[in-house]
Amino acid sequence: MMKILQLCHKPPLPAIDGGCIAIHHITQGLLQSGAEVKVLAIATPKHSVAIDQLPVKYLNDTRFESIFVDTTPKKWPALKSLLQLQSYHISRFYAKEAIARLTQILQEEQFDIIHLESLFVASYIPVIRKYSKAKIVYRAHNVEHQIWERMVNHEQRWIQRALFKFLSVQLRKYETKLFHRIDGYVAISEPDYQFFSQLAPQIKGTVIPFGVDLEHYEPDTHYIPSDNPKLFHIGSMNWIPNTEGINWFFSEVWPLLHKHFPDITFTLAGRNMPKHFFELQLPNVQVVGEVSDARKFILSKDIMLVPLLSGSGVRIKIVEGMALAKTVITTSIGANGLEVEDGKNILIADTPKEFVTAIGKCIKTPDLCTIIGENAAEYIALHHNNKLIINQLLQFYREI
């Protein structure tokens, strides 16, 4: 039986955003396959955890532990990182308390694999190398520096552009160095894998996409397409690309869309909703903030809009929407990492006019939403079935 330490930059539970869900699905899949998994997570102000609210079975199965690290951006540590040409993104997750507990665990137990969830726990590699002979596998949720590079291209304020440029450069340097310190890596999408394989051809890697437990993503079999579809977006609004994309949608797309289809509605949901979205006075737009049941919310609407202008990896909410047989309209960047086909299982729109055209097709031909949704669910079942994905991951573990 393979023994794995899963080191996470955020607690998998509660599964409050796509990153948490992606981590949790790996944990559950490994456990169901018979592997022994211990989960050690960094808890932060944005991702706190209450042990007494977690399922007892989960705590027993994973021997879950979390270490609180205050990752709140602070002026002087940020300035220090700037002067030392270090990545402040990474240093915020590095803490003495986490080092001490990780050291203790590694001295007490032997693991076959230490699975790093995201770039933000890579700073603990020296500790792992000192106290463990386990193979280190890095799971890349994104090519992190690419997110900031793309944000530079869409930022108008010169100070913000300069800051984003600096952050992207530092992250790129850190990501490059990382690949000389690991034994293998798991990319979440083919484009990410291609980038990493060129960056470090000597390191063994593979593509393991985000997977879903199909039993928990059953589409509404009684769904009836509407000639006035309800548009929606759901996502964590403390992730800058999400707020950037929604700001663009409201300023550039919605006025044109409302002009052509004055009766159409749009609902915006997500945790950590910025105050200015609640203060918007846009016709037929409802901002609800965090919802208690994301699946129920998605099933209550018709068309998911994901107007991303920057980002990397795979957008978890798009996979979930497709799994629930919803028509998803997103940008080329939003569809990045998914082997989807425009007009078959998703709709791609990169300009305001293209968004209006895509939504217009759905309004004029309601059955189109049904067809695309069914194709989307079929695509997810073939390419993002968590059981199949976990088998691929375990095989990769064995190979390294």
What mean pLDDT value characterizes the chain?
Answer: 88
Mean pLDDT of 182-190: 92
Residue 313: the pLDDT is: 60
| Pure H helices in 45-204 | 56-62, 75-83, 88-91, 96-108, 125-131, 144-154, 158-178, 190-199
Mean pLDDT of 123-137: 96
Mean pLDDT of 355-377: 93
Mean pLDDT of 139-146: 74
**Could you tell me the pLDDT band of residue 85, with boundaries at 50, 70 and 90?**
very low
The CA radius of gyration of the chain, in Å to the nearest whole number, is 21
Q: Is pLDDT at 40 greater than 90 in this prediction? A: yes
Mean pLDDT of 157-164: 66
The structure tokens listed for 26 are: 């790996």
Which tens digit of pLDDT belongs to each residue from 208-235? 988 888 888 888 777 776 778 899 999 9
Please check whether residue 87 is in contact with residue 108, taking contact to mean a CB–CB distance below 8 angstroms: no
Q: What is the dihedral angle through the alpha carbons of 341, 347, 351, 352, rounded to the nearest 10 degrees?
A: 170
| Domains of the chain, residue spans | 3-211+386-399, 215-383
Sequence letter at residue 266: F
Does this chain's domain 3-211+386-399 share its CATH topology with 215-383?
Answer: yes
Between the alpha carbon of residue 330 and those of residues 116, 245, 293, the distances in Å are 30, 10, 22
Q: Is pLDDT at 20 greater than 70 in this prediction? A: yes
More confident residue, 186 or 179: 186
Phi, psi of 65 (to 5 degrees): -140, 150
Residue 96: the pLDDT is: 93
Nearest of 23, 25, 85, 19 to residue 46 by alpha carbon: 19
Model pTM score: 0.79
Residue 83: the pLDDT is: 45
Which tens digit of pLDDT belongs to each residue from 286-335? 999 999 899 999 999 999 999 998 866 678 889 999 999 999 999 999 99
Between the alpha carbon of residue 327 and those of residues 243, 286, 310, 362, 369, the distances in Å are 21, 20, 21, 9, 6
Mean pLDDT of 136-165: 70
Q: Is pLDDT at 171 greater than 80 in this prediction? A: no
Other CB atoms within 10 A of residue 94 CB: 17
**Could you tell me the pLDDT band of residue 373, with boundaries at 50, 70 and 90?**
very high
The distance of Cα 164 from the centroid of its chain, to the nearest Å, equals: 20
Tokens 């929407």 correspond to what residue?
321
Q: Is pLDDT at 138 greater than 50 in this prediction? A: yes
Domain 215-383 adopts which CATH fold? Rossmann fold (3.40.50)
* CATH classification code of 3-211+386-399: 3.40.50.2000
The structure tokens listed for 61 are: 């199965």
More confident residue, 112 or 18: 112
**Could you tell me the pLDDT band of residue 163, with boundaries at 50, 70 and 90?**
low
Residue 39: the pLDDT is: 98
Residue 219: the pLDDT is: 83
Mean pLDDT of 238-266: 93
